[in-house]
Amino acid sequence: MATMTVLLQVQRQLIDLLVASGPETAMSAGAPVPVPHYFADLRATVAMIFRSWPVAREHASTPCLAAAIDAEYASRVLQAERLLNTLGKKKTSKPYTVPPQGCLATGAALDTAAKLLDTHDPGDARGRLAPLVQRLREADLALSTWLRRPTWISVSLRQAVMDLPTGRRAAS
């Protein structure tokens, strides 16, 4: 029951942003951003979640939603491993950036991403996202750079996930 309540809540939140009479901005990583930028931030955050899993597991709203991402992550790891044995450019990052096919995994990923982004404090946003970014950089530097490129995410998310100077890295 708790999982269904969470999924209905995140669905309502996203629908409210998409209706014609909806707000022009949404909170993302400590600042209001235009709604289209919020959806770009959600997409980037979902990819960060999948590529850095299980780092974000503590942000899943229910054990059922965490288990759904566990299963989706395992599937993506297998897809990426299969790509290692192909000729040409490997594209092993691709399995982590495509949307989930299952409804439960989609809802779980969107809920977790929305929770990570939902803060009015830029410092809090950085604290929430720093462990994901650190793991992402360790696992896939090219994807880390691609997901955090300035033309793809909002200014507030970019500030939350930008690299800290040496010696100031957030604790993992």
pLDDT tens profile 68-86: 999 999 998 888 888 877 7
Measured CA to CA, the distance from residue 40 to residue 154 in angstroms comes to: 8
Q: Domain segments of the chain: what residues?
A: 33-161
Tally Cβ neighbours within 10 Å of residue 25. 14
Q: What are the residues whose beta carbons fall under 8 Å from the beta carbon of 123, sequence distance 6 or more?
A: 30
Window from 6-15, 24-33, 149-158 with minimum mean pLDDT: 149-158
Identify which has the larger pLDDT, 171 or 139: 139
> What sections of the chain are H helices per DSSP?
2-18, 35-52, 63-83, 94-97, 103-117, 122-139, 141-147, 155-161
pLDDT grade for 89, boundaries at 50, 70 and 90: low
Percentage, residues of the chain above pLDDT 70:
92
**What whole-number distance in Å separates Cα of residue 116 and Cα of residue 124?**
9
| Cβ proximity of 153 and 160 under 8 Å | no
How far apart, in whole angstroms, are the C-alpha atoms of residue 60 and residue 65?
A: 6
The whole model's pTM is what? 0.86
**In which element (H, E) is residue 31 found?**
strand 31-34
pLDDT of residue 151: 78
Q: 131: exposed, middle or buried (C-beta count within 10 Å: 0-12, 13-18, 19+)?
A: middle
CA 127 remoteness from chain centre: 14
In tens, the pLDDT along 92-139 reads: 777 888 889 899 999 999 999 999 999 999 999 999 999 998 998 888
